[in-house]
Amino acid sequence: MIPGSGRKAIALLTAKEIFDLVRDDLVLVEEELARQSAGAFEPVSEITSYLLGGGGKRLRPALLLLCNASTGRRSAGAIRLAAVVELLHSATLIHDDVIDSADTRRGRPSANSRWGNHRSVLAGDWLYMQSFQMALEERNFRILDVLIDLTQKMVEGELIQLAKIGRIDVTEEDALRLATYKTACLFSGCARLGAVLGGLEGAEEEALADYGRYAGLAFQLVDDLLDFTASTEQLGKPVLSDLKEGKVTLPLIYAMENGHREARGLVARVLEEKEFHSVRAETIVSLVQDSGALERARNLAHDYARRAKACLEGRGDSEYARALLTLPDFILEREN
């Protein structure tokens, strides 16, 4: 039960306790990922092994596993599908880095900077296809429906972003639509898959899918905030790399909306130069901090976290329900 909902509040968990609940399953997910990578065509296997070995919290697989366990009907297929969503996520990262000409990913050279664009794109394509081949083993059309829908939306999100690259007229609505398609859809899909595997349907399935969507939106907003508040070491990539790549995120949109005299002109100059030549990155960071934009974006992230928790109404007070209730707070507090 959620705190403040009229019944006794349930005890929340620490981040460690959340992941401890599914730690053994995540070990099995890692083993499945290693098998898939080792079994790939050699040029693909090299890139896949490198990418999967680059760290990452495995938050999406953990979300699927927690949602499935919270139904009270843990499915053997959850391990395979948790690996599927991680492979899908990895495919999007490879393609994103190619499109963005990114040099680093999680503090290491990106796949495209090591193996070139052509090989990286093909490796990403292989990961997509392998993900669906694995999902087919479940022999469940509902699962395929969910995976196809979220994959289409992620691709549409990339196309939306491409249309907005380098433009200064990006609105709050544009940014949230992009966050929904590029990030929140996968979170929502992970939660929905956990529900489907647990035999949930109708309103119960939708509630968990909505939980994932709101948690994903909070995750993306925190990502946008970290671009202005974290160090290069924390991010694993240069600070303000989004702006350098031509992406105007919500904190910048809010800063320009807040009427800061110089904001629009300075941002336009960076977008034109595609580099911090005549405008220093520190100047943009200070401008955004002074405008109150970070607080506004942070408040919105907290609002999405609250909405996610509200979707858990009536799910009981099992350890898995407590984990799901705590997960949005973990997302808000993360530093990388």
When the candidates are 3.20.20.140, 2.30.33.40, 2.70.50.60, 1.10.600.10, the CATH number that belongs to 15-310+318-328 is 1.10.600.10
Q: Element (H or E) spanning 108, and its range?
A: strand 108-109
138/107 Cα distance (integer angstroms): 36
Cβ(138)–Cβ(84) under 8 Å? Answer: no
105/124 Cα distance (integer angstroms): 15
218/232 Cα distance (integer angstroms): 21
Q: Give the pair of three-digit tokens for residue 19.
A: 């992941």
289/297 Cα distance (integer angstroms): 11
If you compute the radius of gyration of the chain from its CA atoms, what whole number of angstroms results? 20
pLDDT by residue for the chain (336 residues), tens digit each? 333 334 345 667 888 899 999 999 999 999 999 999 888 888 889 998 998 887 778 999 999 999 999 999 999 899 999 999 999 999 999 999 999 888 988 889 999 999 999 999 999 999 999 999 999 999 999 999 999 999 999 999 999 999 999 999 999 999 999 999 999 999 999 999 999 999 999 999 999 999 999 999 999 999 999 999 988 778 777 789 899 999 999 999 999 987 666 889 999 999 999 999 999 999 999 999 999 999 999 999 999 999 999 999 988 788 999 999 999 999 999 877
Q: Element (H or E) spanning 300, and its range?
A: helix 293-310
Cβ(65)–Cβ(22) under 8 Å? Answer: yes
Q: Give the pair of three-digit tokens for residue 168.
A: 């200064």
Q: Among residues 119, 146, 115, which one has the least CA distance to residue 131?
A: 146
**pTM exceeds 0.85:** yes
How many CB atoms within 10 Å of residue 4? 9
327/321 Cα distance (integer angstroms): 10
CB contact set of 30 (below 8 Å; sequence gap of 6+): 58
Provide the pLDDT for residue 88: 96
Provide the pLDDT for residue 262: 82
First to last CA, the chain: 29
